[in-house]
Amino acid sequence: MIWVAAIKTNMVCIFCKIISGESPAKILHRDDLVTAFRDIHPIGPTHILIVTNRHIDSVNELEPEDESLVGHMVLVAKQLAEQEGIAERGYRLIVNTGAHGGQSVFHLHLHLIGGRLARFAIE
């Protein structure tokens, strides 16, 4: 019962804890809608997560009124890619969704990965 209540209020979500400052992270950007920080297990020289400030489990829970929020996530990723010096050579933007999509943290986030040549296959 306690466990269910905790999930509903997002008390167990690691990204909610990072956004609130309860858990540490290397924060690179913060505004009204999103927070961006370095991934704890980077798979490239640059690996940043752009996370919605509001807890949304995944793309599956997005509503039509979230359209500008999703657009904003991509524009923040573009800005961070420029800041990291990887814009010209290119990068990957990835949103894993659900079990088959390889999502491991169920709080909507966009991966910005760059700084090396990506393998052809999407991992």
Residues within the interface to Zn ion (CB under 5 A): 10, 13, 15-16, 55, 107
Interface stretch with ligand 5GP, choices 1-9, 38-46, 85-93, 112-120 (CB under 6 A): 38-46
Told to check if 102 binds ligand 5GP by CB under 6 A, we report: yes
Least distance from ligand 5GP to the Cβ atom of residue 42, Å: 8
Which residues are catalytic, by number?
A: 109
Residue appearing with tokens 């640059």 = 46
- Rounded Cα distance between 86 and 95, Å, is 19
Burial class (CB in 10 A: 0-12, 13-18, 19+), 35: buried
Residue 11 CA, chain-centre distance (Å), reads 18
Least distance from Zn ion to the Cβ atom of residue 116, Å: 29
Least distance from Zn ion to the Cβ atom of residue 52, Å: 8
Question: What is residue 117's DSSP assignment?
Answer: P
- Rounded Cα distance between 114 and 96, Å, is 17
Rule CB under 6 A: choose which of 6, 12, 27, 40 binds ligand 5GP: 40
Told to check if 14 binds ligand 5GP by CB under 6 A, we report: yes
